[in-house]
Amino acid sequence: MNEIEFSIRFPDASAAQANQWAADLKQLLEETHPDVRLEQVRDREETMDLGATLGIILGSAAVTAVARGIQAWLTKRQDASIEFAKDGRVTAKGLRGKDALALAELILKQNQ
């Protein structure tokens, strides 16, 4: 099984809000699929926060479950905007809950 790796950032949020959103999304995704590896990552090493970026590593079997988890999270946070990045480049921005299945397809396509 190939591993898929990407990150999620919250471009329109303050540092404190992005930290909280990363923590909330991490917790929800941990509950969604136990085999997904998640890590909050600091954008700057000198900060004391847990991290405003969420790093995600998963197998292809978990992509749809994770995308649905992201959809559920975004549905609850209408004011949230996320950036999806792989290999340092942004491939989707401003995703909303209705875009979860398109996100799953994008993740799989990027990792073929």
Which tens digits make up the pLDDT trace of 21-54?
999 999 999 988 888 999 988 766 665 566 788 8
Domains and CATH numbers, the chain: 3-110 (3.30.70)
Q: What per-residue confidence (pLDDT) applies to 64?
A: 82
Q: Are 6 and 16 in contact (CB under 8 A)?
A: no
- Taking 60 as the threshold, does the pLDDT of residue 101 lie above it? yes
| Averaged pLDDT of the chain | 79
Q: Which residue has the higher pLDDT, 42 or 14?
A: 14
Band of residue 100 on the pLDDT scale cut at 50, 70, 90: confident
The answer on pLDDT for 19 being more than 60 is yes
Which amino acid does the sequence have at 10?
A: F
| Phi and psi at residue 85, to the nearest 5° | -130, 145
